[in-house]
Structure 1
Amino acid sequence: MLMVNMHDAKSKLSSLVERLELGEESEVVIARNGTPVARLVPFTAPRRIGAARHLLAGLDIPATVEAFNAGDGAIAADFDASARQGLAP
């Protein structure tokens, strides 16, 4: 952990970020009058694969294209029924 004062952090921000990128530092603490006030850490991108899996877990979503398309007949029947009742889709 590297601690720098506010003035040094402002004037050397690029080099501080580079040290984080290269793994030379795990975090940089920025201090004002010797008191830590902020922390710079490397950014880690969130994992995209399965990011919404917990949101979709309770839903009955078809797992294959064939299973998804199997509902097309029911959907068409629903549209036909609403058209017969005079409802616009």
Structure 2
Amino acid sequence: MLANMLEAKNNLSRLVAAAERGEEVILARDGKPVAKIVPLRMARVAPPGSMRGRIHLSPDWDSPETNAEVAALFEASVLRGL
């Protein structure tokens, strides 16, 4: 579907509904295509807790040694300017 700017201004709701139905909606200025109205595809977000049972942590993940190692990595990246 091709719509000029004046038509788009006056019928925006109809044009958006057409795009939502999967129709290609092209906007034109002086008969030349300049833009397209497309439906917004939202990313599906996993609900909280959906990874339960899929992630396994090492028993020492929060040990003083591991924390010191992580802190050293952060400090090294700050010194390198990362």
Q: Does 1:11 align with 2:10?
A: yes
Residues 3 and 25, structure 2, Cα contact 8 Å, conserved in 1: yes
Normalised by the length of structure 2, the TM-score is 0.57
Unaligned runs of 5+ in 1: 50-62, 79-89
1:33-48 → structure 2 map (5 Å cutoff): 33-48=30-45
RMSD over aligned CA atoms reads 2.2
What SS class does the counterpart of residue 18 from structure 2 fall into?
Answer: helix
What SS class does the counterpart of residue 42 from structure 2 fall into?
Answer: coil
Quick one: distance in 2 between partners of 1:29 and 1:72?
A: 56
Normalised by the length of structure 1, the TM-score is 0.54
1:64-83 → structure 2 map (5 Å cutoff): 64=56, 66-67=57-58, 70-73=60-63, 74-75=65-66, 78=68
* Higher Cα radius of gyration: 1
Residues 60 and 66, structure 2, Cα contact 8 Å, conserved in 1: no
Quick one: distance in 2 between partners of 1:38 and 1:29?
A: 6
Per-residue CA deviation, residues 1-53 of structure 1 (Å, 9 max, x unaligned), is x10000000110011111222x251x21000111111111111123546xxxx
Unaligned runs of 5+ in 2: 47-54, 69-82
